Amino acid sequence: MSEAVERPLKAESQGHAPGRGRLEGRRILVVGGGQDDRGLDDAPIGNGRAMSILFAREGARVAVADRNMQSAEATASMARDGSAVSIEANVAVPAEIKAMVSEAVAKLGGLDGVVFNVGIGAGMWLEGSTPEIWDRVFSVTLRGAMLTLQAAMPVLADGSSIVLISSIASMKAGSRMPSYDASKAALGGLMRHAGIEGERRGIRVNIVAPGLMDTSIGREATRGRPGRAKTPVPLGRQGTGWETAYAALFLMSDEAAYITGQTLAVDGGMTGLR
């Protein structure tokens, strides 16, 4: 980390800020809204769970989709009373994606927003990358996103918002996993195309690209590559899942009504200042 004065985290960064009705009446599907604690007893909140809880707090009804139904149900139970439902779906299986969107529409009575928060990485360096690894990563991170948008676009209400969760690995080298970097970068092309398809109906499509985040997956990455914890971040610390969630909240809300086809990095200044 860069040299920095210790600053207390804001209420938003800790998930303690009250709701302000920014998504009142919206119906939002969060794909990847569960959480993998990676065996941690003190697991910090992840991006998907934080987004699901925050959207509900801000007045939305949320469909929490995850391949782990128990995890999806746990997230839904943390949301505002009665505001969230859970759906079991594995985006690596195309048929389950179409069923997931249909179930979300049925349970919520329609859709005004979709977040795709799923991605995997494997295969260190080019030497450790195999055709099988490459295809598996792309089938989840990129094909899963494409099929989700394919199923969702026809049923989304006019004026809806779509947010794809990428990574700053799509913008600068760092993960050491070619399949992860390339699949996250490819989301940019998908986002721009979907934005063109949605423009006549006022459907906005944007990307949130988190940096080094203090999540369970982030901590696991640091265990495997201890140097990650020493990466210089201009704001002097790793981010929280809540900070990813608030960026997605902005893009999902009417505050971003004139924003589409853009990538918002939530990275403490790493891509802009380093």
Residue 210: strand pairing partners = 266
In a domain, 1, yes or no: no
Predicted confidence (pLDDT) at residue 1 exceeds the cutoff of 60 = no
Contacts 24+ apart (CB under 8 A), 127-135: 129/177, 129/178, 129/179, 133/179, 134/178, 134/179
Does any domain span residue 2? no
Q: Domain limits at 104? A: 22-273
Task: Assess contact for 5 and 63: CB atoms under 8 A.
Answer: no
Query: Of 55, 116, 180, 242, which one is the catalytic site residue?
Result: 180
Asked if residue 225 belongs to a domain, the reply is yes
**Is residue 173 assigned to a domain?**
yes
Domain assignment present for residue 12? The answer is: no
Burial of 261 (0-12, 13-18, 19+ CB in 10 A): middle
Q: Is the pLDDT of residue 3 over 60?
A: no
In total, how many domains does the chain have?
1
Residue 5 resides in a domain: no
pTM above threshold 0.85:
yes
- Report if residue 3 sits inside a domain: no
For residue 241, give the nearest of 216, 269, 258, 270 by alpha carbon.
216
Which CATH number is 110's domain given? 3.40.50.720
pLDDT digits (tens, 9 = 90+) for 126-148: 999 999 999 999 999 999 999 99
pLDDT tens-digit series, residues 83-126:
999 999 999 999 999 999 999 999 999 999 999 999 999 999 99
pLDDT by residue (tens digit) across 42-79? 889 999 999 999 999 999 999 999 999 999 999 999 99
Q: How many other CB atoms are found less than 10 A from the CB of residue 18? A: 8
- 2 pLDDT more than 60: no
User: Average pLDDT in the 194-217 region?
Assistant: 95
Instruction: Indicate if 258 belongs to the active site.
Output: no
Give the distance from CA 16 to its chain's centroid. 20
CA–CA separation, 232 vs 230, rounded Å? 6
Asked if pLDDT for residue 212 goes beyond 60, the answer is: yes
Q: With respect to residue 72, please indicate whether it lies within any of the assigned structural domains.
A: yes
d(CA 23, CA 25): 6
